[in-house]
Chain A
Amino acid sequence: MEKIVLPEIENLHLIDTYVANGGYDTAKSALAKSSDEIIDIVKKSGLRGRGGAAFSTGLKWSFIPKGSGITKYLCINGDESEPGSFKDRQVFEFNPHQLIEGIVITCHAIHAKKAYLYIRGEYHKWIKLMQKALDDAYERGFVGEAMKAKYGTDFSCDIYIHKGAGAYICGEESSLMNSIEGKRGYPRVKPPFPAQVGLWGAPTIINNVETIANIPPIIKKGWEWFSAIGEQKHPGTLLFGVSGHVNKPGVYELPSGTLLTDIIYNYAGGVPGNKKIKCVIPGGSSMPPLRGDQLEGIKMDAESLRAAGSAIGTGGIMVMDEDTDLVKVLARLSKFYYHESCGQCTPCREGTGWMVKLLNRIVRGEGSKSDIDLLVSVASNIEGNTVCALGEAAAWPVRFMITRFRDEFEKQVSDHVKLEVKNKVHSMRATLNPLASVEN
């Protein structure tokens, strides 16, 4: 199978290798086309965003006001902080120039003179690799003022890397813009959408790293070629990151619609000790978890996963074997969302805190049966009542983990429940258990 984003070419991260393989030729041919033409090709290709929401990329670009008279910006989202997601770092490391070429083409398509590539702060190593690639591209005249001469056009754009500083919420597009502007990373209320009012109030397009890395091949080989790969409604390849209980964790670039079981058992080498799978989170930690006994036939693309009761998200597949304590997993996840909530909306700020408390209580063996329903109710009260989708990201795992694995939770509240008994008589009865020897 052909790889689009991470082709298996040795040293492709070096500018010489990239150029020797036809790199930056596509930017030149794209700059000779009108921006409408580019947007049209991307629209027809069916490319959908790889950052989580799987929104049509061409359609998003078409929302931006036309013309070169107004200042516009492009932001490339490399915050990659969703637990279970580790694909964009592969692009930074192994194919940075295809990303840069994609940024140049996108800037031309939307008439943006400046692009900001936002990379999470922990990725020091990958920021350095990306900066090196960018410096090389500038030096050769593929980016910046010199590109006018290089490509023979009157368009030029600059690309800057903006380093995050450890906040998951900054991956949310409006929070990301605030972060670039030098503010706290609070998400903004939408509408207005970034394509109208974005960075410094100017129309802005935000796309994921993998999304933009798909652009050069689409322009080079045409939308017909791209739209025929994988599932028609969500075409192309996806970078599936497989983690957890598998023999060969890692990133696998495969056509959309590849069977989940195929990815887990064939590509990722199956489960250690041939254990059964209890649970799979198919698209990064925010997406509803699936039952291990219901994985048969599930295809990995946006539409199929929605039909299966989950979502494609970032394509990060977390596999948990039969011995996994799902209550502990959920408690840990909830701690993450509690930590990362920006605190702007009450349901998210308070709700995530409540969920952690309740889950920790159950983990400690002090949970009562009513806690389970209370958890679902708290989660349901967050959903739909917040400024940004972190609310859903925090609520979905709780709600769906409990509805799909209720037995796991009931086991823990009934097995080791330690109801605190203040009344002396009752507590004596509980410890002495006068009928312990009576069997029938």
Chain B
Amino acid sequence: MEFKFSVENQEKIERIIQKYPEKQAAVMPLLYLAQEQHGFISVEAMREISQILEMPETDVLGVVTFYSMFHQKEIGKHHIQVCTNVSCMLRGGMQIFDAVKSKLGINNGEVTSDKLFSLEEVECMGSCGTAPMIAVNEDYFENLSTEKAIEILNSLK
């Protein structure tokens, strides 16, 4: 499947490249754009980016695999991230993770069959002072209890 950036994104790309003295530096922002546009980063998207930035495809792939926020597979409409690192763990983060897991019926890294939800156990999100927390896509939900976390899931359509 071919991948082309939307006209709107092409304009954004022009501006992004201007921020850096060398084109390759724009690879992370461009990967974000591709991911936003397409839901995940396909091989075709990487090829397109490598052509725009005049860098080897393998280097683009190297960047994609290095960073945990770039997804090479489709994720759910609601990507649920549960922090289980220490500050969250001390306040019930592990229990929340288990509850979310059984509620969604999927394991870490999986997507529900209706593609509505995906689940990821994440490292510290910088919410230790408002722990425990989950993030749904880009939004943080903090100071949670297991009940509140499940309520949030119930509210997502």
Closest-CB distance, A257 to chain B (whole angstroms): 22
Closest-CB distance, B113 to chain A (whole angstroms): 26
- Given A125-B138, A182-B24, A241-B129, are A165 and B124 also a contact pair (CB < 8 Å)? no
Partner of B28, one of A80, A85, A114, A163: A163
Closest-CB distance, B46 to chain A (whole angstroms): 13
Q: List, in ascending order, chain A residues with CB within 8 A of B69's CB.
A: 121-122, 164-166
* Interface segment, one of A292-300, A329-337, A418-426: A329-337
* Interface segment, one of A216-224, A228-236, A243-251: A243-251
Closest residue of A by beta carbon distance from B138: A124
- Against B, the Cβ 8 Å flags (1 = close, 0 = not) of A70-99 are 000000000011111110010000000000
- Quick check: is B155 within 8 A (CB to CB) of the other chain? no
Q: List, in ascending order, chain A residues with CB within 8 A of B70's CB.
A: 165
- Against A, the Cβ 8 Å flags (1 = close, 0 = not) of B66-100 are 11111000000000000011110111000000000
How far is it, in angstroms, between the C-alpha of A125 and the C-alpha of B127 when the chains are bound? Answer: 13
- Quick check: is A413 within 8 A (CB to CB) of the other chain? no
- Given A165-B68, A243-B87, A336-B123, are A181 and B129 also a contact pair (CB < 8 Å)? no
How far is it, in angstroms, between the C-alpha of A164 and the C-alpha of B31 when the chains are bound? Answer: 11
- Determine if B32 and A122 form an interchain contact, defined as CB atoms under 8 angstroms apart: no
How far is it, in angstroms, between the C-alpha of A281 and the C-alpha of B127 when the chains are bound? Answer: 17
- Given A124-B138, A324-B90, are A86 and B129 also a contact pair (CB < 8 Å)? yes
8 A Cβ contacts from A45-84 to B: 80-84
Partner of B124, one of A84, A167, A179, A249: A84
- Against A, the Cβ 8 Å flags (1 = close, 0 = not) of B52-64 are 0101000100110
- Determine if A166 and B67 form an interchain contact, defined as CB atoms under 8 angstroms apart: yes
- Determine if B21 and A184 form an interchain contact, defined as CB atoms under 8 angstroms apart: no
How far is it, in angstroms, between the C-alpha of A183 and the C-alpha of B32 when the chains are bound? Answer: 15
How far is it, in angstroms, between the C-alpha of A86 and the C-alpha of B139 when the chains are bound? Answer: 16
- Determine if A182 and B55 form an interchain contact, defined as CB atoms under 8 angstroms apart: yes
- Determine if B27 and A182 form an interchain contact, defined as CB atoms under 8 angstroms apart: yes
Interface size class of chain B, counting residues whose CB lies under 8 Å from the partner chain: 35 or more
- Determine if B128 and A85 form an interchain contact, defined as CB atoms under 8 angstroms apart: yes
- Given A122-B135, A182-B27, A183-B63, are A84 and B128 also a contact pair (CB < 8 Å)? yes
How far is it, in angstroms, between the C-alpha of A336 and the C-alpha of B85 when the chains are bound? Answer: 8
Closest-CB distance, B137 to chain A (whole angstroms): 9
- Against B, the Cβ 8 Å flags (1 = close, 0 = not) of A264-290 are 000000000000000001000100000
- Determine if A182 and B128 form an interchain contact, defined as CB atoms under 8 angstroms apart: no
Closest residue of B by beta carbon distance from A71: B21
Highest count of chain B CB atoms <10 Å: which of A244, A245, A250, A328: A244
Closest residue of A by beta carbon distance from B90: A244
- Determine if B62 and A184 form an interchain contact, defined as CB atoms under 8 angstroms apart: yes
- Given A165-B28, A166-B68, A324-B90, are A243 and B126 also a contact pair (CB < 8 Å)? no
Q: List, in ascending order, chain B residues with CB within 8 A of A82's CB.
A: 124
- Determine if A162 and B90 form an interchain contact, defined as CB atoms under 8 angstroms apart: no
Q: List, in ascending order, chain A residues with CB within 8 A of B22's CB.
A: 181-182, 200
8 A Cβ contacts from A107-123 to B: 114, 120-123
- Given A83-B123, A120-B126, A182-B28, are A243 and B131 also a contact pair (CB < 8 Å)? yes
Q: List, in ascending order, chain A residues with CB within 8 A of B139's CB.
A: 124-125
Q: List, in ascending order, chain A residues with CB within 8 A of B28's CB.
A: 162-165, 179, 182
Known: A183-B24, A244-B90. 14 other contacts (CB 8 A): A84-B86, A86-B127, A114-B21, A123-B126, A124-B139, A125-B140, A163-B29, A163-B32, A166-B67, A166-B69, A182-B20, A183-B62, A244-B87, A336-B124
Measuring CB to CB, which residues of chain B are less than 8 angstroms from any residue of chain A? 19-22, 24-29, 31-32, 53, 55, 59, 62-63, 66-70, 84-87, 89-91, 122-131, 135, 138-140
Measuring CB to CB, which residues of chain A are less than 8 angstroms from any residue of chain B? 80-86, 89, 114, 120-125, 160, 162-168, 179-185, 200, 241-245, 249-251, 281, 285, 316, 318, 320, 324, 328-329, 332-333, 336, 339-340, 342
Name 30 A/B residue pairs within 8 A (Cβ), A-sorted.
A83-B87, A85-B124, A85-B126, A120-B126, A125-B140, A160-B20, A163-B29, A164-B69, A165-B28, A165-B67, A166-B68, A180-B20, A181-B22, A182-B27, A182-B28, A182-B53, A184-B63, A185-B66, A241-B129, A243-B131, A249-B129, A249-B131, A285-B124, A320-B90, A328-B89, A329-B89, A332-B89, A336-B85, A336-B124, A340-B123
